Chain A
Amino acid sequence: MKFTLSWLKQHLDTTASVDEITYALTDLGLEVEGVEDRGAKLADFTIGKVLSAEKHPDADRLRVCQVATDEGEKQIICGAPNAREGITVVVAKPGVYVPGIDTTIGVGKIRGIESFGMMASEREMELSDEHDGIIELPSGEVGDRFVDWLAENDPAKVDPVIEIAITPNRPDALGVRGIARDLAARGLGTMRPNPVPEVEGAFVSDITVSIDDDTRDGCPVFFGRLIRGVQNGPSPAWLQDRLRAIGLRPISFLVDVTNYFTYDLNRPLHVFDADKVAGNLRVHRAKGGEEIAALDEKTYTFQPGQMIISDDNGPESIAGVMGGAETGCTEETVNVFVESAYWDPIQIAYTGRALKINSDARYRFERGVDPAFTPVGLDHACAMILDHAGGTASSMISAGAIPDTSRAYRLNAARVQSLVGMEIHESEQRQTLTALGFKLEGDMAQVPSWRPDVMGEADLVEEVARVASLTKLKGKPLPRLTAGVPKPVMTVKQRREQIARRTAAALGYNECVTYSFIDQASAKLFGGGDDATMLENPISSDMSHMRPALLPGLLQAAARNQARGFADLALFEVGPAFQGGEPGEQHLQVSGLLVGRTGPKDVHGASRPVDVYDVKADAEAILSAIGAPAKVQIMRGADAWWHPGRHGKICLGPKKVLGIFGELHPRVLEAMDVKGPAMAFTLWPAEVPLPRKAGANKGALEISDLQAVERDFAFVVDTEVEALTLVNAAMGADKALIEDVRIFDEFIGGSLGEGKKSLALTVRLQPKGATLKDADIEAVAQKVVEKVTKATGGTLRG
């Protein structure tokens, strides 16, 4: 919403400075977005006087003028027909930028004679479209700045334009008068009266209006007057100035009047060329499919139920949104029908959204204009038309009735204290509300018809508080819920998320936060991409589906980094993945991705390509950190995006998968443009069982002082036999005595022959009661060999 200072002062009698006004506006909730100083671009133009004007010896139309300026007498060549001796003019000296012609003036020679500047027209200074000649000022001293003269004599041309942001609850501030009312309530001046004009109805309009019964809820009331014999044409300069200042293009007087009152009093109007209206006007609902060519030169098709104003020829206006081109006013219009109606905000909002029309009328009607002002606004417009364009007006015609929006809420003065925490005396509260247009009867506040947003007691508090200024609010400590040291607030799930994240970072991974939506092709590679997880209105096809997993986002990140020349990557993310499109069909994942080498090549020869055992170690470390049991099963048969032979599911039982690690399928990498191989893990922290015990007690540590003994074994087994099978079998040989079993060597093929491998393991025996004797050790060793050979079909390697 834009307005000029002088426009504001038409409604507000104030001596406040622009700074005071803008501060108050922002503080009142009408946030100032900008103040345009229109005088700034004219700051260097000065006033001069033409001392003499002689015809240019070599050009009939040019004159050689001697001009008095602040820098003495200057010679200026001028082509304007009105350049003559004795007139007071505006001079742009060399070096001055002239905005209307986008040129900086220099010293030049015109047909052989030197010229030291230029005398400007209004258009050249972007004051109007006037370019018939140079400006002739009726007053002004040579050498004075032109902007100062304008500020003194024609302030509307250069006074500041203030732009404010209007929150959806304040339609009343979409009119300059409403803004003035807020400032007056704040104490920045007093409201000037805006009396209801007297419009004499000389005849009965031959155009009538009807509202269909099923449309009364959308158009409760419609007023109009027919004005005959007007002379349309360009608007008077003051009106053009105002519209231009706020960025509107003057069109013709009749149209400009409607735009003016839209901004001045928040009263959108429409003017029909009465001679183009066939028969009477009827407000009704669309059947669907009707078409209208609107004023924006586009054709719209109505959907069933939308409101139309029609005549005998069909739709002539998209009710409350935009008029039709067919019956629009032109320079030639002589008989005009002026419409002022009240439209239901919700229905206008839906129609405007459906037809994708953003007009000033829709913007205001959908926020809510003052219904009681409907006929008054009509007469403001009619009076202005009669004043400037002549003609005679009909009596007011109407259909429907002004909706009753009267309501009152109790002003509880103590509520301001309790809700806001400010001490404001009741008399001041009442004064504020009165200044805003509320009528107080006892402790009941009657809401003014222009404030559709006030719907309860809390709104009264808000009005009082914002006018009193929330800036003055003093903070008051919020007492703790409980005395003493605060309790921890995080849930187990939240702590797991944090620990998983920090463990991954400690393991050398860089945390990424990638978008929750990805392209369908990538989603499909990871089991997603179906309609349930599809966005209806994605901003691009790259972001069309909710991600089924974190890995596709990490792979895309890896591809981008590879393209930038970073080949060795360790990336991870902790975040939600979506298995469906319903609320709650999401789950937390922790995913890590390794590509390239463990590091750049180094003098120690430590760098090597990343492998499955890297991600296995990291997955195990994170699971351990978040409290997963040490004893797990490693199973196979994970989803298709894993390398079929190089992955493992970390499980507690066949259905309880805590995580998966492995190499990603080469086909997936190819599809996602990632140079592989790539190792990855995904963990599901929610699957990790909650700790069973309550309390922090770790229990007493039982340790034996007796020396532990280690024995090594090597077994020859089939290559498909898994190491974990050997470990579990060996562990089972003597559960009391065997503390740990570690695989320390693997050897495949060679002298063992095809399909065979040797696995070597260390068994650690920890005696508890008595020192182990050779015979004890021998007995356990025997059991280990027995168990392992039985479990694997292998043999002890000799």
Chain B
Amino acid sequence: MDDLKSKYLTQIADAADEAVLEDIRIAAVGKKGEVALKMRELGKMTAEERQVAGPALNALKSEINSALAAKKAALADAALDERLRSEWLDVTLPTRTQRRGTIHPISQVSEEVTAIFAEMGFSVAEGPRIDTDWYNFDALNIPGHHPARAEMDTFYMHRAEGDNRPPHVLRTHTSPVQIRSMEATGAPTRIICPGGVYRADYDQTHTPMFHQVEGLAIDKDISMANLKWVLEEFVKSYFEVDGVDLRFRASHFPFTEPSAEVDIRCSWEGGTLKVGEGDDWLEILGSGMVHPKVLEAGGIDPAEWQGFAFGMGIDRIAMLKYGVPDLRAFFDSDLRWLRHYGFAALDVPTLHGGLSR
């Protein structure tokens, strides 16, 4: 019986493929195989002989079956390995191209600003880009003769012959939205007004359209100190620094009183802006306490309510944060610029995840 065992185990070990293996199986443990024939011989044996030979034959059968199964698996593995060896791809080949879309910096920065101010309870107000001269000027305490009107390089809309209303203007700031919002909601209120504005100026640093965000907070006891805190928090959050000095400089805007221009501490080492350190000051926005006449124009009683307003350039703070050198390129739609300065679709700025990557 040992001969039988060694014969088949050797054959199994030497089998080259599955067909040979099947032949061996039939010859060894098939219905008419050698082991089966031996089984039949058991009947002719004595009880004592059978007690020895029976288990031995069963063990032999099971051993051969195991060997067959193991060999079969080994052959399959070898065959798969062989196939995989031939299945080689040059994975350095480029893929099917996928377009990568981008978000314009103005949109991205507008969302960043919105995220920060929303946290402080400011909602987003919007208004028309073509507006009456009343909303754009008079309501903001800029009467017709005011030098600020001439200095603002206002775009006027054409007036048809016989239409004697003063011409409409392309809003020169988003301040008219403040008036419309005050009219609509009254006090108390906290809003920011982001959006495009227009001035008839075009050179290295000016484009006839640019973007502003203005803020307005009206309540019973809001002071300029609150304004300073809000702007400090904003600048810190927007520029993603731990702290920043703000300098309020007395100034004048017709729609606020007192008025202040706001500078932030910065350094320009090697042409790169670093906010919050260094000895330079960078003017980034104008602000002040809302002029009583402006509150009145918005239908709010200045004897009862007071508050602050501020405004800054979205394009400008985008340039500062992201190192964009030229304002004019914002509106040129050069694909290379859009790809370089644009943001990924899923880079939604949030305060919990961070504004920028």
In this complex, the member of B95, B107, B330 whose beta carbon has the largest number of chain A beta carbons within 10 angstroms is B107
A703 within 8 A of B: no
| A490 touching B114 in the complex, CB below 8 Å, given contacts A536-B159, A583-B128, A585-B130 | yes
Q: Once the chains bind, are A480 and B120 in contact (CB under 8 Å)?
A: yes
A358 vs B118: C-alpha distance when bound (angstroms): 45
A373 vs B157: C-alpha distance when bound (angstroms): 42
B344 within 8 A of A: yes
Q: List CB contacts (< 8 Å) of A733-789 with chain B.
A: none
Q: List CB contacts (< 8 Å) of A71-97 with chain B.
A: none
A569 vs B97: C-alpha distance when bound (angstroms): 13
What 0/1 pattern do residues 352 to 363 of A give for CB contact below 8 A with B? 010000000000
Of all chain B residues, the one with the shortest Cβ separation from A469 is B250
Of all chain A residues, the one with the shortest Cβ separation from B192 is A489
A419 vs B219: C-alpha distance when bound (angstroms): 11
What's the nearest-Cβ distance from chain A to residue B80, in Å? 27
Task: Kindly list chain B residues whose C-beta atoms are within 8 Å of the C-beta of A564.
Answer: 334-335
A505 vs B251: C-alpha distance when bound (angstroms): 42
Q: Once the chains bind, are A420 and B338 in contact (CB under 8 Å)?
A: no
Task: Kindly list chain A residues whose C-beta atoms are within 8 Å of the C-beta of B332.
Answer: 557, 560
Q: Once the chains bind, are A29 and B208 in contact (CB under 8 Å)?
A: no
Q: Once the chains bind, are A506 and B101 in contact (CB under 8 Å)?
A: yes
Q: Once the chains bind, are B346 and A474 in contact (CB under 8 Å)?
A: no
B173 within 8 A of A: no
What's the nearest-Cβ distance from chain A to residue B156, in Å? 4
B221 within 8 A of A: yes
What's the nearest-Cβ distance from chain A to residue B153, in Å? 9
What 0/1 pattern do residues 531 to 563 of A give for CB contact below 8 A with B? 111111111100100100000001001001100
Of all chain A residues, the one with the shortest Cβ separation from B262 is A470
Of all chain B residues, the one with the shortest Cβ separation from A367 is B147
Task: Kindly list chain B residues whose C-beta atoms are within 8 Å of the C-beta of A178.
Answer: none
Task: Kindly list chain B residues whose C-beta atoms are within 8 Å of the C-beta of A515.
Answer: 208-209, 331
A657 within 8 A of B: no
A485 vs B135: C-alpha distance when bound (angstroms): 35
Q: Once the chains bind, are A420 and B257 in contact (CB under 8 Å)?
A: no
B333 within 8 A of A: yes
Q: Once the chains bind, are B103 and A501 in contact (CB under 8 Å)?
A: yes
Interface of B is mostly: mixed
Q: Once the chains bind, are A583 and B135 in contact (CB under 8 Å)?
A: yes
Task: Kindly list chain B residues whose C-beta atoms are within 8 Å of the C-beta of A473.
Answer: 224-225, 228, 248
Of all chain B residues, the one with the shortest Cβ separation from A570 is B99
Task: Kindly list chain A residues whose C-beta atoms are within 8 Å of the C-beta of B144.
Answer: 346
A465 vs B104: C-alpha distance when bound (angstroms): 41
A534 vs B160: C-alpha distance when bound (angstroms): 10
B102 within 8 A of A: yes
A693 within 8 A of B: no
Task: Kindly list chain B residues whose C-beta atoms are within 8 Å of the C-beta of A578.
Answer: 129-130
Q: What is the total number of residues of chain A having a CB less than 8 Å from a CB of chain B?
A: 106
Q: Once the chains bind, are B345 and A29 in contact (CB under 8 Å)?
A: no
Q: Once the chains bind, are B128 and A584 in contact (CB under 8 Å)?
A: yes
A332 vs B111: C-alpha distance when bound (angstroms): 69
What 0/1 pattern do residues 470 to 488 of A give for CB contact below 8 A with B? 1101111110111000101
Q: Once the chains bind, are B101 and A366 in contact (CB under 8 Å)?
A: no
B88 within 8 A of A: no
A502 within 8 A of B: yes
Q: Once the chains bind, are B221 and A535 in contact (CB under 8 Å)?
A: no
A196 vs B247: C-alpha distance when bound (angstroms): 40
A5 within 8 A of B: no
Q: Chain A interface: which of B12-20, B22-30, B31-39, B196-204?
A: B196-204
B98 within 8 A of A: yes
Task: Kindly list chain A residues whose C-beta atoms are within 8 Å of the C-beta of B182.
Answer: none
Q: List CB contacts (< 8 Å) of A440-486 with chain B.
A: 453, 456, 458-459, 461-462, 465-466, 469-471, 473-478, 480-482, 486
B223 within 8 A of A: yes
Q: Give the interface residue-count category, chain B.
A: 35 or more
B158 within 8 A of A: yes
Task: Kindly list chain B residues whose C-beta atoms are within 8 Å of the C-beta of A490.
Answer: 114, 118, 123-124
A122 within 8 A of B: no
What's the nearest-Cβ distance from chain A to residue B344, in Å? 7
B289 within 8 A of A: yes
Q: Once the chains bind, are A599 and B97 in contact (CB under 8 Å)?
A: yes
Which of A478, A531, A537, A574 is within 8 Å of B229, CB to CB?
A478
A504 vs B99: C-alpha distance when bound (angstroms): 11
A202 within 8 A of B: no
Task: Kindly list chain B residues whose C-beta atoms are within 8 Å of the C-beta of A576.
Answer: 129, 196
Q: Chain B interface: which of A219-227, A247-255, A600-608, A636-644?
A: A600-608
Q: Once the chains bind, are A510 and B167 in contact (CB under 8 Å)?
A: no
Q: List CB contacts (< 8 Å) of B154-172 with chain A.
A: 155-160, 167-168, 170
A532 vs B158: C-alpha distance when bound (angstroms): 7
Of all chain B residues, the one with the shortest Cβ separation from A417 is B223
A124 within 8 A of B: no
Q: Once the chains bind, are A561 and B334 in contact (CB under 8 Å)?
A: yes
Which of A506, A538, A584 is within 8 Å of B345, CB to CB?
A506
Q: Once the chains bind, are A557 and B93 in contact (CB under 8 Å)?
A: no
Q: Once the chains bind, are B250 and A29 in contact (CB under 8 Å)?
A: yes
Q: Once the chains bind, are B345 and A502 in contact (CB under 8 Å)?
A: yes
Task: Kindly list chain A residues whose C-beta atoms are within 8 Å of the C-beta of B200.
Answer: 537, 539
Q: Once the chains bind, are B333 and A557 in contact (CB under 8 Å)?
A: yes
Q: Once the chains bind, are B225 and A570 in contact (CB under 8 Å)?
A: no
A516 within 8 A of B: yes
A399 within 8 A of B: no
Task: Kindly list chain A residues whose C-beta atoms are within 8 Å of the C-beta of B128.
Answer: 583-586
Task: Kindly list chain A residues whose C-beta atoms are within 8 Å of the C-beta of B119.
Answer: 486
A237 vs B230: C-alpha distance when bound (angstroms): 54
B348 within 8 A of A: yes
In this complex, the member of B144, B170, B332 whose beta carbon has the largest number of chain A beta carbons within 10 angstroms is B332
Q: List CB contacts (< 8 Å) of B91-147 with chain A.
A: 93-104, 106-107, 111, 114, 118-124, 126, 128-132, 135, 144-147
Task: Kindly list chain A residues whose C-beta atoms are within 8 Å of the C-beta of B333.
Answer: 512-514, 554, 557, 560-561, 571
What's the nearest-Cβ distance from chain B to residue A8, in Å? 19
Q: Once the chains bind, are B224 and A581 in contact (CB under 8 Å)?
A: no
Task: Kindly list chain B residues whose C-beta atoms are within 8 Å of the C-beta of A533.
Answer: 157
Q: Once the chains bind, are B248 and A560 in contact (CB under 8 Å)?
A: no
Task: Kindly list chain A residues whose C-beta atoms are within 8 Å of the C-beta of B258.
Answer: 419-420, 458, 461-462, 465-466, 470
Task: Kindly list chain A residues whose C-beta atoms are within 8 Å of the C-beta of B257.
Answer: 458-459, 461-462
A476 vs B150: C-alpha distance when bound (angstroms): 36
Of all chain A residues, the one with the shortest Cβ separation from B101 is A505
Q: List CB contacts (< 8 Å) of B227-268 with chain A.
A: 228-232, 246-252, 254, 257-261
A585 vs B217: C-alpha distance when bound (angstroms): 28
Which of B146, B158, B228 is within 8 Å of A535, CB to CB?
B158
A473 vs B111: C-alpha distance when bound (angstroms): 29
A517 vs B155: C-alpha distance when bound (angstroms): 11
Task: Kindly list chain A residues whose C-beta atoms are within 8 Å of the C-beta of B168.
Answer: 581-583
Q: Once the chains bind, are B291 and A29 in contact (CB under 8 Å)?
A: no
Task: Kindly list chain B residues whose C-beta atoms are within 8 Å of the C-beta of A511.
Answer: 101-104, 107, 338, 342
A251 vs B122: C-alpha distance when bound (angstroms): 58
Which of B202, B306, B344 is within 8 Å of A505, CB to CB?
B344
Q: Give 5 closest A-B pairs by Cβ, nearest first.
A: A421-B225, A508-B99, A599-B97, A466-B250, A29-B250
29 contacts between A and B (CB under 8 A): A31-B251, A349-B145, A349-B147, A461-B257, A462-B250, A462-B259, A465-B250, A465-B258, A470-B260, A478-B222, A503-B345, A508-B98, A511-B342, A513-B330, A514-B333, A517-B208, A539-B201, A539-B202, A546-B130, A561-B333, A561-B334, A571-B333, A578-B129, A581-B158, A583-B130, A583-B131, A583-B135, A599-B99, A604-B95
Contacts from A to B (Cβ < 8 Å): 26-29, 31, 167-170, 345-346, 349-350, 353, 366-367, 417-422, 453, 456, 458-459, 461-462, 465-466, 469-471, 473-478, 480-482, 486, 488-491, 494, 498, 501-517, 531-540, 543, 546, 554, 557, 560-561, 564, 566, 569-572, 574-576, 578, 581-586, 598-600, 602-604, 606-607
Contacts A349-B147, A505-B102, A515-B331 known; list 9 others, CB within 8 Å. Answer: A27-B250, A31-B249, A422-B225, A465-B224, A475-B246, A481-B190, A502-B103, A513-B331, A561-B333
